[in-house]
Structure 1
């Protein structure tokens, strides 16, 4: 079996590697000490097409497969693991919106997400259940206006930094079948954030609890 990269894959890797060496690596230590990544960096990354790596061509994304997008994350991680990890989370959420979101939602948010004007975080982990999706306790209840979500998510990359949060909450019974995904945008009533987690690494990627009180 041939595991060598195609010319296109090599070009993707080389572009990401060069960007990381030029724009990220010289600043990574300062960002680590400051505890944040400048938001202007994400706009530049978005211009490369990296904000919608797995989004289809038809929706304005790069249309890459999982291997191709992994090459981007690997190349950027050589400059800064925080940047690469956060970008992977953003892209995971973006693909969820395209695959599972309603058309009105996609029409409203997907293009800013692809351009990385809107940054996304993934909210699964909870204080009592970790990342065991089947055991999560955050709950969403249907109301006359839509849904209300209550619960706490723990150790969320981009908590208080991202613009929107893909939140897993229970809408049914126990187990994995009773879980739905919601998009909460920063500024919605009832959405607050805990203090910064004190980490030994990846400090430039802000990490906090995400707290929802009838959002």
Structure 2
């Protein structure tokens, strides 16, 4: 039986957040209530069982929390990204499968919301944002991960229809999504030959492989998605032909902020669990939290979390102001996920032998933190993005 973090005076503590409005404060209060009532109690058990909580996404949609950064006229919340990300952090602190799942769903909605026609937005977004539909994002392939512009999935036009053929990899919600945002090659080689399509989850010819057997996030299905001659009308193409890679990059910049917020949520949960433990655990007739070496570890963990939170919020505020934020998004994803890995590792260490058992949640947080250094572009790729911003593209001989 997995134990929750201590719930006494030293258990999980609400983060003192700075938000731009009373409405945002109310949204965070609603999120915490849903976490307390619907998500946290079952998180450990359902993760162990590999259960995906589809009903939670319906609940979040009905509560108005599944489309926070999108326009109100289409069923969204019209909230700034700095608010949406803090909601995401609260969800991820309770269960990363939910927090990262919301981030992926938001990523899947981005193409229609930002680049779709008025008709496409009016027809598609209300169900996508209201919890009736769950989305997935298909960019990576078995032979093109970090080098996403080398994707091979083909989109061939025949009049007013397109036929998509290929395999996508590492798809969160693969096999259970109601719609897929798919990037496919409609033209020549390179980034300029890629277009974006919205593909229904029940489209003939679309199937998913068995979910990957992962180290963590066992409740969140990750699978290859096969497109075997999937036919969609031209009305399912998002943006202009050849604009797909630009659409993908636009979505990824925002998605990296989602990963950063989720990482800080996991790190905060690990710190709260470790702090509760060391304040209650006694050795040598006093709480182990009295030992300076452990106190310094806690101080470093808390400092990293506060720094990461400030970094992702700073990038979000640039985005909200309509200013460029791509390098800051890469910095936030890099720093926050590295922080999560370090904090969760230290949390396991602080619990000693108990930290290495499944009886306490810190070992799950540690396993989950690792994937955040990989998804939405590995942290090595984030360093490439930041370095290119500073020093320009690499020289080619």
Is 1:30 aligned to residue 50 of structure 2? no
Q: Deviations over 1:134-154 (max 9, x none)?
A: 111111110134101111111
Is 1:6 aligned to residue 17 of structure 2? no
> In structure 2, the residue corresponding to 1:96 is in which secondary structure?
helix
Give the structure 2 partner of residue 76 of structure 1: 91
> In structure 2, the residue corresponding to 1:128 is in which secondary structure?
coil
- Whose helix proportion is higher, 1 or 2? 2
* Equivalent residue for 1:189, pick from 196, 204, 218: 204
* Equivalent residue for 1:92, pick from 107, 115, 134: 107
Give the conservation status (yes or no) of the 8 Å contact 1:54–1:95. Answer: no
Give the structure 2 partner of residue 171 of structure 1: 186
How far residue 176 of structure 1 moved from its aligned partner, in angstroms, is 1.7
Root-mean-square deviation over aligned CA pairs: 1.7
> In structure 2, the residue corresponding to 1:51 is in which secondary structure?
coil
Give the structure 1 partner of residue 133 of structure 2: 118
Is 1:214 aligned to residue 229 of structure 2? yes
Q: Deviations over 1:80-116 (max 9, x none)?
A: 0110001011112223212222344333321111111
Relative distance call for 1:54 and 1:4 in structure 2 (3 A) is closer
Distance 1:131 1:36 in 2: 29
How far residue 33 of structure 1 moved from its aligned partner, in angstroms, is 2.6
Q: Deviations over 1:158-188 (max 9, x none)?
A: 0001111000111122222221110111221
Give the structure 1 partner of residue 61 of structure 2: 46
Distance 1:156 1:10 in 2: 33
Distance 1:214 1:104 in 2: 26
> In structure 2, the residue corresponding to 1:162 is in which secondary structure?
coil
- Whose strand proportion is higher, 1 or 2? 1
Map of 1:139-154 to 2, 5 A cutoff? 139-154=154-169
Give 5+ residue unaligned stretches, structure 2.
1-16, 231-397
> In structure 2, the residue corresponding to 1:203 is in which secondary structure?
coil
The normalised TM-score by structure 2 is: 0.51
Relative distance call for 1:87 and 1:159 in structure 2 (3 A) is same
Larger gyration radius, structure 1 or structure 2: 2
Give 5+ residue unaligned stretches, structure 1.
none
- Matched residue count: 213
Distance 2:120 2:141 in 1: 26
Deviates more, 1:67-76 or 1:98-107: 98-107
Is 1:62 aligned to residue 77 of structure 2? yes
Distance 1:180 1:54 in 2: 24
Is 1:137 aligned to residue 152 of structure 2? yes
Give the conservation status (yes or no) of the 8 Å contact 2:74–2:121. Answer: no
Give the conservation status (yes or no) of the 8 Å contact 1:160–1:208. Answer: yes
* Equivalent residue for 1:180, pick from 187, 195, 212: 195
Deviates more, 1:14-23 or 1:192-201: 14-23
Give the structure 1 partner of residue 215 of structure 2: 200
How far residue 10 of structure 1 moved from its aligned partner, in angstroms, is 3.4
